[in-house]
Amino acid sequence: MDYLLDRYLFDNLPFTVSPETRKGIGQKAVTMVQWADWFCKYKSPVELIQNNPYFFAAELVFGFLCMLTFAHAYRHGGRYLYTWIAVTVHAFVIETLAISVPELNLYWHAQGMLSFFGMRVPLYALFGFHQMFLYTSYVLVSRMRLPWWGEGPAVGLSSVMLQLPFRMLGTKLLWWTWHDTDPTIEDRMFWTPWSSLYFYAACACSFVWMLRLTRRLLLEKEYDWMKFPKELTCSFLTGVLSYWLGTAQAGHCVCNGELSHWCTVYKLSSH
């Protein structure tokens, strides 16, 4: 780093930089490079294809599906676009908390072509399956004109039904690896923890309720493009707060033993 700064920066300046200043700038440059390397890491597609071709294909497919959901939101405009933004904020919240909170650090993604946050989160986890499952479920259910108390659970159920094959296949093909000994994910179906499915359904349900609540408090019923700051505020609040409300729902179910009860019923019925 010192050689590069001397060769391409300091030697070309019309004034002389003291050695102490050069050293300080060099240390800051190294820190910035280390931070950038932690934030985003590139991996050769050739290496990905050799190690796990199905994972590479999944990255491409979900990247394409994410672009389709954005195209749908952009084409229809209005609050569809702000809902897509809220889903994306929700995706960032889920994935960043999963690697920063020890109690939530229950799975490890495979490293993709672009991986973020210390190579823990591939690109398709931020812009991919969350948009595909949650946004698509929201649009499908919203056209059913359900009441508020039914729309949330319907979106949660729909999102889980859409992603169930993805969860099973991804676990089998090592697109991610689950924690081996954590008791909260002990009960599984085709290698997929029941608790992870219920947790995602609870978060999706909370997402819908929080989106309705924030828009009811901050906005009018009819969409007005001039109130985009409030629309963005609703999207941000929904993306952040829905995770915590979903966690409360899932925690209540686990603490009361309801999830274990249904897991036992499934195991008995499968024999």
CB 182 within 8 A of CB 217: no
Name the band, by pLDDT with cuts 50, 70 and 90, for residue 197: confident
Burial class (CB in 10 A: 0-12, 13-18, 19+), 53: exposed
Q: Which residues pair with 109 in a beta bridge?
A: 176
Output the CA torsion 149→151→157→159 (10° steps): -140
Least confident of 22-36, 78-92, 227-241: 22-36
Least confident of 28-32, 105-109, 153-157: 28-32
Please report, as a single letter, which amino acid is at residue 136.
T
Name the band, by pLDDT with cuts 50, 70 and 90, for residue 201: very high
- Residue 260: the pLDDT is 46
Collect all residues with Cβ–Cβ distance below 8 Å to 104 and sequence separation of at least 6: 97, 98
Name the band, by pLDDT with cuts 50, 70 and 90, for residue 48: very high
Based on the fold, state whether residues 30 and 51 are members of the same structural domain.
no
Based on the fold, state whether residues 94 and 157 are members of the same structural domain.
yes
Q: Does 266 score more than 50 pLDDT?
A: no
Based on the fold, state whether residues 9 and 121 are members of the same structural domain.
no
CB 47 within 8 A of CB 55: no
- Residue 240: the pLDDT is 94
Name the band, by pLDDT with cuts 50, 70 and 90, for residue 25: low
Cα–Cα distance measured from residue 110 to residue 126, given in angstroms and rounded to the nearest whole number: 14
Nearest to 178 by CA among 104, 118, 252, 228: 104
Based on the fold, state whether residues 158 and 224 are members of the same structural domain.
yes
CA atoms within 13 A on the CB side of 173: 15
Based on the fold, state whether residues 112 and 194 are members of the same structural domain.
yes
Read off the pLDDT of residues 135-167 as tens digits, 9 standing for 90 and up. Answer: 999 999 999 989 988 999 999 999 999 999 999
Based on the fold, state whether residues 137 and 10 are members of the same structural domain.
no
CB 99 within 8 A of CB 105: yes
Q: Does 16 score more than 80 pLDDT?
A: no
Q: What is the pTM of this model?
A: 0.85
* φ, ψ (nearest 5 deg) of residue 180: -85, -35
Based on the fold, state whether residues 27 and 136 are members of the same structural domain.
no
- Residue 192: the pLDDT is 84
Based on the fold, state whether residues 114 and 51 are members of the same structural domain.
yes
Based on the fold, state whether residues 85 and 204 are members of the same structural domain.
yes
Based on the fold, state whether residues 165 and 139 are members of the same structural domain.
yes
**How many domains, in total, are found in the chain?**
2
Least confident of 52-66, 177-191, 213-227, 233-247: 177-191
Please report, as a single letter, which amino acid is at residue 167.
R
Based on the fold, state whether residues 119 and 213 are members of the same structural domain.
yes
Mean pLDDT, all residues of the chain:
85
Range of the domain at 11: 2-38
- Residue 61: the pLDDT is 95
User: Tokens 């969409």 identify what position?
Assistant: 223
Q: Does 42 score more than 50 pLDDT?
A: yes
CB 203 within 8 A of CB 213: no
Based on the fold, state whether residues 104 and 214 are members of the same structural domain.
yes
Residue 132 vs residues 46, 72, 91, 112, 217: alpha-carbon distances, Å: 26, 11, 11, 18, 28
